[in-house]
Each structure stands twice: as C-alpha cells, then as structure tokens.
Homo-oligomer: A and B are copies of this chain.
Amino acid sequence: MGILERKKREKQQRRADIMEAAKDVFFSKGLMSATMDEIAERAELSKGTLYLYFQSKEELYLSLLDEGDRIFLTMMRKELLPTLSAEELIRKTASVYYKFYQQYPDYFNIMFFLHHGDLENKVSPEFYKACMCQAEETLKMIEGIIQKGIGEGTFRKVDSWKMTLNLWATANGIFFLCKEKGHHDFLKGYGEQELLEHALDIYLEGLKKK
C-alpha cells in the first residue's frame, strides 16, 4: 500500500515537474512559440512522457492557467477576513492581486495572455468550462465586497457587477501596461503598485458616500 502511495506521489510530482518546466517556457515564449521539445528538455523528460500526463500542448497550457487561478483564489480566501471594512477589503484585494502578480509573474502572464490560438477549441469542453468557472469565482468575491460596502452605507449605490468589472479591468490594464511598456520610458518610473494605489484612491473617493 505504501508502494502505491509512493507511486501516486511520484506521479503527481512528475506532473508538477512538467508544469513547472512548461510555465517557464510558455512564459518566455508565449503559447504559440513555445515548443513541446523545449518543455521536455527543460523538464529533463522525453517528449513522449509529456503526452502521458497531458493530452496536448493546449491542455498543458490550460492546466497552468487553472493552477494560477486556484493559487490566486486560495490567497484571496486566506486574506479577505470578514472583519475588515468594505474599503479595507477592496484595498486588500488589490494588494493580494499585486502580491500574486509579484510572486507568480508567470502565472499572471499565462492567465492574462490566454487569448491567442483557439485554445478553447483544442481542449475538452468540460475542462475549459471548469477553468472558466474557477476564474469567475474571483470576480464574485469582489462583487460581494462592493455589495457589502453598499449595504453598510459606505459606498454609493452603484451597480456592483459593473464596479467589479471596472476594478478588475483597471488592475489588469495597469499590470498589462507595466508589463508591456515597463522597459520603455512611458511609465516615467511609476510602478504597478503606485499606479494601482492611485487608481484605488480615485475610485474609492468617487465610490464613497459623501
């Protein structure tokens, strides 16, 4: 029995190894330019082995995305204590997202730069659906915060889902901008954190009841 368990653990480890290698390669090359050869080499495994654990390049990619979502969701759940006020929760959310972005830059990239290729058509619909659902969870948590703020009378009566999408879009837009243009002087030295905080300042100022 111990043997079976060890084998299972080894198998999971191998799967994790592949995902680790894939993460590096996908991030540095993008979905299309990344090659299974390179992933296999980086994982120090044969190419055939990759296909024992993942049905296709796309499934491997989407598995990374899914893991990223799961990590982020876990971080959120741990830090968003119900004792905090709505404003604190909003700021907390932003800081958790920023932390995630910092700690797992490759996951962030994979999550965000998902779109290329017909990813959707190349994996099983069930798997795709499951990934999407998990991603939606996050947004629902944010919406809950807005609603809480409105309920408490801290925030004006705004459309909570609209507001959620705006916050999410803004954070992503900022991270994206910094990623994209960070190495030019567009940003004049401003970093993600400063911009995000500034956006929050303005947003919260506009959101709060006078």
Q: Residues of A with Cβ closer than 8 Å to B?
A: 30-33, 113-118, 132, 135-136, 139, 158-159, 161-163, 165-166, 168-174, 176-177, 179-181, 184, 186-188, 190, 194-195, 198-199, 201-207, 210
Cβ-defined contact, A195 with B177, below 8 A: no
| Least distance between A179 CB and chain B CB atoms (Å) | 7
- Find the B residue at minimum CB distance from A173: B173
Cβ-defined contact, B32 with A198, below 8 A: no
User: How many copies of this chain?
Assistant: 4
Contacts A166-B195, A173-B174, A198-B158 known; A113 to B116 CB distance under 8 Å? yes
Contact of A158 among B195, B202, B210 (CB under 8 A): B202
Contact of A169 among B31, B132, B174, B184 (CB under 8 A): B174
A-B contact pairs, 19 of them (CB 8 A): A31-B116, A32-B116, A32-B117, A115-B180, A116-B116, A132-B184, A158-B202, A161-B188, A165-B190, A166-B174, A166-B195, A166-B202, A168-B177, A172-B173, A173-B173, A173-B174, A176-B176, A203-B206, A205-B207
How far does the alpha carbon of A115 sit from the alpha carbon of B171 in the complex, in Å? Answer: 18
Given contacts A166-B170, A202-B206, 5 further A-B contacts (CB under 8 A): A132-B184, A162-B190, A169-B173, A172-B173, A173-B173
Contact of A203 among B32, B161, B190, B203 (CB under 8 A): B203
- Find the B residue at minimum CB distance from A114: B180
How far does the alpha carbon of A132 sit from the alpha carbon of B186 in the complex, in Å? Answer: 9
Cβ-defined contact, B33 with A195, below 8 A: no
- Find the B residue at minimum CB distance from A179: B115
The interface residues of chain B lying within 8 Å CB-to-CB of A201 are: 206
Contacts A32-B116, A117-B32 known; A172 to B163 CB distance under 8 Å? no
